[in-house]
Structure 1
């Protein structure tokens, strides 16, 4: 684990690294993704309902496009739907990127304590770059987008890749997520997970999954305890 940096309360155990999801976790873009999917679904004459949430929230563009193709019966190809979804979402993110409450404060405390962080997103690289332009690139030692691993969330690949690039065992890393899809990905990689839901969707259960209402409630001490509590 990192040594305690100047300004860190004495005795604080620091996490080895913290791996952050992006949409809905650090920035309030999950609602923009839902809007993009919902608008396209309306055009396909098959409005989204709460039953569609698992196929939209936290999912990659291609996954949601395949879902809309399947449930709408449209003649448009999955590739065309994915392209339209991606364009719509990118436009919304470019126009409105708002950090989640407590996100930048937590990132600042990790930077000051010299704890390495990674951004682990299921969004396309161009959307990740738009968000980084808005909130700053220097928060993260590593950034991963949907294109950067063979499989994206809920597969463990993104979190495994982030830990590998940081030179760490995933078991000592803490992942911060907001959707069941992301929690499943991080858990499958072996990370401890801090889940801060952006919607009312129920989270998976697990010995190393901790639930908070907001990142404003998270601090170095909590993240350190989660990272130290390895599964046996």
Structure 2
């Protein structure tokens, strides 16, 4: 019988929802409002980053605002885009969440976005998708530090080694790997080659709870661990 993970922990931006274009548009408008320029390559530096780290990079690009004000302004911009343009769920993500719910496997959302941003996305899912939410303002150390995932495990009262983390960025994957979880990479905007994911899937489309159970069982069996 397959060993089943006790939780699946999801990143949000780029993994659950394709909000990266919204973030990039908000960053570009902000930098240009201070007379600077912000390229696609500049924006890629921020994918998966903690918000304070991103704010510092934007300050270096000429944004003359304190970090907290930058974070609040960008979050407002992305939330407005979500309200007016809709929530673009990544292929297969909502369906996989629904299947995990049906299978009785707990789920957590672990994002470096602000809690108000995370909850606005969660509220737009038509079922009770997540058991817990950990956001950027809930932790001291952002990804790639393992604290966000370790905090999620503590809220769920599990050992992090009993969880699978799903991430789309190198920063997020490093956090998942460092935490001790089984780390699954689903690349989106940036490559995840050579980051060290336990496995890479090109998409979540067509994937089910059974696929995640099989992945967890196979990877934990390979390490000789007993869960």
Using the TM superposition, give the Cα deviation of residue 54 of structure 1 relative to its aligned residue in structure 2, in angstroms: 4.8
Which of the numbers 199, 203, 223 marks the counterpart of 2:189? 199
**Equivalent residue runs for 1:1-232 within 5 Å:** 13-72=3-62, 74-95=63-84, 96-136=86-126, 138-206=128-196, 208-228=197-217, 229-230=219-220, 231=223
Deviations 1:146-193 (CA, angstroms, capped at 9, x unpaired):
111122212111100111111211112100111111111111111111
**CA distance 1:145–1:75, shift in 2 (3 Å):** closer
TM-score where L is the length of structure 2? 0.87
Choose 178-187 or 13-22, whichever is displaced more. Answer: 13-22
Using the TM superposition, give the Cα deviation of residue 81 of structure 1 relative to its aligned residue in structure 2, in angstroms: 2.4
Aligned CA RMSD, in angstroms, stands at 2.0
Asked if 1 retains the 8 angstrom alpha-carbon contact of 2:2 and 2:213, the reply is yes
Q: Secondary structure at the match of 1:56?
A: coil
Choose 112-121 or 217-226, whichever is displaced more. Answer: 217-226
CA distance in 1, matches of 2:108, 2:21: 22
Deviations 1:18-50 (CA, angstroms, capped at 9, x unpaired):
101111111121221122112212223332234
**CA distance 1:204–1:94, shift in 2 (3 Å):** farther
CA distance in 2, matches of 1:226, 1:153: 23
Asked if 2 retains the 8 angstrom alpha-carbon contact of 1:178 and 1:195, the reply is yes
**Unaligned stretches of 5+ residues in structure 1:** 1-10
Using the TM superposition, give the Cα deviation of residue 68 of structure 1 relative to its aligned residue in structure 2, in angstroms: 0.9
Deviations 1:181-211 (CA, angstroms, capped at 9, x unpaired):
11111111111111111213344432x5211
Asked if 2 retains the 8 angstrom alpha-carbon contact of 1:179 and 1:203, the reply is no
Q: How many equivalent pairs are there?
A: 220
Using the TM superposition, give the Cα deviation of residue 126 of structure 1 relative to its aligned residue in structure 2, in angstroms: 0.9
